[in-house]
Chain A
């Protein structure tokens, strides 16, 4: 077996999927070849690091830090709400003001329109009655006047 064979068959070798004969010849080559031995050793040493990974020690101030972050986040939320609520509240006040203003304005307009139409109606009634009386009274009174003159 040569180094290239080891490189090719490494996957099968690490999965124990080689025949007994191939396994033996691969092991023989690895123990005799410095490069292949280094390669396999290096892979195993690197994998060992995962097994012996250092553990982080606990932080005595973790709870204080967590508590502070919770407070900061809640204040931030309130501030964020304030940031959005202020323009929304201002817009609502403006809309309410406008609605009331328009409502009041249209009421006054309607009232004045109503009162002007009522007075116009009164005038019309008065004038029509006047014409009616004029038609009767004037003709007779004029005739009487002319006759009296004569």
Chain B
């Protein structure tokens, strides 16, 4: 069954068609939210909200874009709103650890612990990027999503996406370099 057929069936109130959409796109939505919020439980809650919003706004979907693009867009917006809403929590949990000297403890920890710490530093660095760089970089890290699709989701040109991702990588390395440099000093 094509996406358009599924959507028209959902509009008619067919729950089976809606279940198929949820099953097909759950992994994509879940991991997109996870890229942004970096917390399993929050990502699950957000994914749930994404599908609820999709269901509630199904009549406004005209089929101009692919269902995946539409769902990516909802996921990104929901995740960014969530981060904005819980800014204080994110600032305390992540940025504090990013700028503190906790990484000294990491040297003696095992590899998993080191990777966990690195992931935290990376996430904090991503969080401090500009909004567009953050969105482009996070979407780029999701499997199978092309520059063209990112451009469609963000409503920008493909060359802008390339430039945003390149600048995001450069800025991330710079931020991480400065952070680790503090530990060497």
Q: Which residues of A contact B (CB under 8 A)?
A: 7, 10-11, 14-15, 35, 38-40, 42-43, 45-47, 49-51, 53, 55-56, 58-59, 62-63, 65-67, 69-70, 73
Closest chain A residue, CB of each to CB of B23: A63
Q: How far is the CA of A63 from the CA of B143 in the complex (A)?
A: 23
| B31 pairs with A11, CB closer than 8 A | no
Closest chain A residue, CB of each to CB of B137: A50
Which residues of chain B are within 8 angstroms of A38 by Cβ–Cβ distance? 180, 184
The 5 closest A-B pairs by CB, nearest first: A46-B118, A66-B51, A63-B22, A43-B176, A42-B180
Which residues of chain B are within 8 angstroms of A51 by Cβ–Cβ distance? 141
Closest chain B residue, CB of each to CB of A14: B173
Contact of B34 among A11, A47, A56, A69 (CB under 8 A): A56
Contact of B122 with A by CB under 8 A = yes
Which residues of chain A are within 8 angstroms of B181 by Cβ–Cβ distance? 7, 39
Q: How far is the CA of A51 from the CA of B177 in the complex (A)?
A: 18
| B184 pairs with A66, CB closer than 8 A | no
Task: Please list 29 pairs of residues, one from A and one from B, whose beta carbons are closer than 8 Å in the complex, sorted by A's number.
Answer: A7-B181, A14-B170, A35-B184, A39-B177, A39-B180, A39-B184, A40-B177, A42-B180, A43-B177, A45-B118, A46-B118, A46-B121, A47-B173, A49-B118, A49-B119, A50-B122, A50-B141, A53-B35, A55-B27, A55-B143, A56-B43, A58-B26, A58-B30, A59-B47, A62-B48, A63-B19, A63-B22, A66-B55, A70-B52
Q: How far is the CA of A72 from the CA of B43 in the complex (A)?
A: 20
Interface size class of B (residues with CB under 8 A): 35 or more
Closest chain A residue, CB of each to CB of B27: A58
Interface string of B111-133 (1 = CB under 8 A from A): 00001001101100110000000
Q: How far is the CA of A11 from the CA of B43 in the complex (A)?
A: 34
Minimum CB–CB distance for A66 against chain B, Å: 4
Which residues of chain B are within 8 angstroms of A49 by Cβ–Cβ distance? 115, 118-119, 122
Contact of B173 among A7, A43, A66, A73 (CB under 8 A): A43
Q: How far is the CA of A50 from the CA of B137 in the complex (A)?
A: 10
| A11 pairs with B55, CB closer than 8 A | no
| A62 pairs with B55, CB closer than 8 A | no
